[in-house]
């Protein structure tokens, strides 16, 4: 009985942890800049089209900032940097920013989904 009482909090945390998804929509008027930020997601536009990236640094989870001058993402916490494609270039993160799915709706909205 004691083992059950002791194990329940651990099991409930691990077994029932709910991962949900959040839909982020960029309307047409929010698609003109090279980098558009909304709720933890960057929409990057280039002559080749659009891509969306999670703004969460893969090192310890800080929100990266886009620097329009250097055209790089920079993490304010420990200084990792990333290209506009999300590719890691320096710092302790050592992994790329997470690329998210992109879908263009018939009304011109660009839609992506992020796990929270
Ligand atoms: S959290 Fe971004 S480099 Fe550490």
pLDDT tens profile 67-98? 999 999 999 999 999 999 999 999 999 999 99
Domain boundaries, the chain: 26-115
The verdict on the CB of residue 59 being under 6 Å from ligand 1 is yes
Distance CA 27, CA 111 (A): 9
Testing ligand 1's pocket by substitution, the residue of 63, 80, 94 carrying the most ligand atoms inside 8 A of its CB is: 80
The verdict on the CB of residue 80 being under 6 Å from ligand 1 is yes
Write down the pLDDT at residue 55: 98
- The pTM of this model reads 0.83
The CATH-assigned architecture of domain 26-115 is 3-layer Sandwich (2.102)
- Neighbouring C-alpha atoms within 13 Å toward the C-beta of 4: 1
Nearest alpha carbon to residue 81 among 99, 94, 100: 94
Distance CA 59, CA 5 (A): 35
Nearest alpha carbon to residue 59 among 98, 18, 23: 98
CB-based contact 61:78 (threshold 8 Å): no
Structure confidence by residue, pLDDT tens digits, 5-58: 555 555 555 566 678 999 999 999 888 889 999 999 999 998 888 999 999 999
């Amino acid at each position: 009985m004691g083992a059950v009482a002791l194990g329940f909090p651990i099991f409930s945390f691990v077994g029932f942890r709910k991962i949900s998804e959040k839909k982020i929509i960029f309307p047409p008027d929010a698609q003109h800049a090279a980098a558009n930020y909304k709720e933890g997601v960057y929409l990057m536009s280039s002559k080749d089209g659009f891509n969306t990236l999670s703004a969460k640094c893969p090192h310890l989870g800080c929100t990266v900032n886009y620097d329009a001058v250097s055209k790089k993402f920079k993490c304010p916490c420990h200084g990792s940097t990333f290209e506009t494609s999300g590719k890691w270039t320096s710092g302790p993160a050592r992994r790329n920013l997470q690329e998210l799915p992109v879908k263009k709706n018939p009304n011109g909205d660009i839609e992506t989904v992020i796990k929270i």
